[in-house]
Amino acid sequence: MRAEGVRIQNLCFSYTPGKPVLREVSLDIQPNEKFGIIGPSGAGKSTLLLHLNGILSGGGTIHIGETPVSPETLAPVREKVGLVFQNPDDQLFNPTVEDDVAFGPLNFGLSPEKVRERVKTALADMNLTGLEKSAPHHLSLGERKRAALATVLAMRPAVIAFDEPFSNLDPAMVAQLVNLIKALETTLVVISQSIFPLIACCDRMAILNEGRIAAVGSPKALAGNAELMRENGLDLSLYRGVCEGLFFKMGSDQVKL
């Protein structure tokens, strides 16, 4: 499917009356853009993502390309937007990994041959070749996360919305996922607490804090603004100290924090 833009206008949402979780969130994400959203725990990131394919529905409007997200458009919207949940166990429910990855393409009515090819490619991209017949609950958490990503990759949606894709992956897998994300010809909305992978794979980034967009800009510019990051609950001074110790003082045998 061709990449499509995501336009969010004045999105407001509360789980409990009087306790807003999203406050007037507006974002304009371009087709094929890799867009990161960072923010402290509880900022409303996952809540925002769940609006993109209509699992939650708040005030304001969301468009995927020209299609408004509404109760009447849920079927086309869910074909366009592939959502990868924070917890892979919310995504994997079939007896084997290959059944889970085949589930979406089969539902789209693809031929068995095409489905086999999609499953093979998605599993290879996620380094899961050989685990086709495994039961998802027998995989490690990192493997289950990759399997959950594979279920969405196999559907080749116009927009992929990833919730914390980098957590519980080993460094080599994070690097592989960053490269995969950069190469995808689809729009990506990536929510993460991991600033380095976001800098490595995103064209732009937003900071979400207490349900509000605090800033939008290039990931490097935002992450390099220590005061902005700190004000929004994202203190990177520990990382900065470690990085300086590791990469800029190679002669020193002590990491200065």
Interface residue list for ligand ATP (CB under 6 A): 15, 21, 39, 41-47, 86, 193
Taking CB positions, which residue lies at the least distance from Mg ion?
Answer: 46
**Beta-carbon contacts of residue 135 (< 8 Å; ≥ 6 apart):** 95, 96, 97
Residue from 14, 30, 32, 46 in contact with Mg ion (CB under 5 A): 46
Would you say 196 and 243 are in contact if contact means Cβ atoms under 8 Å apart? no
Q: How far apart are CA 9 and CA 98, in angstroms?
A: 38
CB count within 10 Å of CB 22 equals: 26
Q: Which of Mg ion, ligand ATP, none does residue 41 bind (CB under 5 to 8 Å by kind)?
A: ligand ATP
Q: Shortest Cβ distance from residue 45 to Mg ion (Å)?
A: 5
The position carrying tokens 């045998």 is 253
Report in angstroms the alpha-carbon separations of 6 from 9, 34, 36, 60.
Answer: 10, 11, 13, 14
Of 121 and 193, the one with the shorter C-beta distance to ligand ATP is 193
Would you say 207 and 214 are in contact if contact means Cβ atoms under 8 Å apart? yes
Of 45 and 146, the one with the shorter C-beta distance to ligand ATP is 45
Of 32 and 86, the one with the shorter C-beta distance to ligand ATP is 86
Of 46 and 67, the one with the shorter C-beta distance to Mg ion is 46
Site for Mg ion in 26-45 (CB under 5 A): 45
* Residues at the site binding Mg ion, with contacts judged by CB under 5 A: 45-46
